[in-house]
Amino acid sequence: MIEVRDLRVSYGGRVVADVPELDVGAGECVAIVGESGSGKSTTLLSLLGLTPDAEISGHVSVCGVDVLTASPRRLREIRGAKVALVMQSPQAALSPATRLGVLMRRALKLHGRDRVAETMAEAVDAVLLDREILRRYPHEISGGQAQRFAIALAIALGAEAILADEPTSALDVTVQAEVVGVLRRLRAERGLALLLVSHDLALVSTIADRVLVMRDGAVVESGPAARVLSEPAHPYTRELLEALP
């Protein structure tokens, strides 16, 4: 579903993400962990061609599309319907004067879906939100609700992969757990491919099959989550683990 080889993303000549290898298959979950500024979000965004100001090289294939050479139109197609991006502050991406229900309905119609009302209700139920949320405006929901709404939108459109960038604030731990809980269930029920960014190794251990540890733009360690978290090979991973409460 997602295949990355020798990805290198730079801003003004400074390499901010260097990822030699990253694969996520259907029904798999891979997590990228690392401290603030290590290049996690940049890696995620580059997979959808969303780093317009960056110099970027390597090979990235997402749902069969060669991202680094694809036309803007082809990229919009995968972003809209096949791959969902759940961002750190999803409210900002929602149009402020549009109720969530209107937004979801428009997206479904744009992609030519029928059974719109049923699909919307099912998707909102699947992420454990109250259907009443569809009547609200983006500023009337919390960050965690906004992330779950973004996931609901993805499910409604039939997404095959979800890229999720978790909130980084320590205050958001319960929100993260909520969002990850929803992702875990959807992955099991629908075989979604998940690529999850988090600074929280404890949380990652509850969902990921494989882990990539990033620091200063480089992948310092990667492998099966069980192995990386129990027998970390790199001192930095050990540091992250020791920092856990």
Ligand X SMILES: Nc1ncnc2c1ncn2[C@@H]1O[C@H](COP(=O)(O)OP(=O)(O)OP(=O)(O)O)[C@@H](O)[C@H]1O
Residues that bind ligand X in the complex, under the rule CB under 6 A: 11, 16, 34, 36-42, 53, 168, 199
> Which residue, 23 or 35, has its beta carbon nearer to Mg ion?
35
- Compute the least distance from the CB of residue 11 to ligand X, in Å: 4
Residue number with the smallest Cβ distance to Mg ion: 41
| Spatial separation of the C-alpha atoms in residues 157 and 140, rounded to whole Å | 23
Q: What is the Cα 98 distance to its own chain's centre?
A: 24
Share of the chain residues as helix, strand and coil, in percent rounded to the nearest 5: 45, 25, 30
Positions touching Mg ion (CB under 5 A) are 41
The gap between the terminal CA atoms of the chain, to the nearest Å, is: 34
Residues 6+ apart with CB under 8 A from 239: none
132 binds, among Mg ion, ligand X, none (CB under 5 to 8 A by kind): none
- Compute the least distance from the CB of residue 35 to ligand X, in Å: 7
Give, in degrees to the nearest 5, the angle at Cα 66 between 61 and 70: 145
- Compute the least distance from the CB of residue 197 to ligand X, in Å: 7
174 binds, among ligand X, Mg ion, none (CB under 5 to 8 A by kind): none
- Compute the least distance from the CB of residue 97 to ligand X, in Å: 27
In the chain, the amino acid numbered 87 is: M
> Which residue, 41 or 145, has its beta carbon nearer to Mg ion?
41
Which residues partner with 161 through β-bridges?
83, 193
Tokens of 208: 């990921």
- Compute the least distance from the CB of residue 199 to ligand X, in Å: 5
> Which residue, 30 or 133, has its beta carbon nearer to Mg ion?
30
Q: What is the Cα 83 distance to its own chain's centre?
A: 9
3-state secondary structure of 58: strand
242 binds, among Mg ion, ligand X, none (CB under 5 to 8 A by kind): none
> Which residue, 39 or 90, has its beta carbon nearer to ligand X?
39
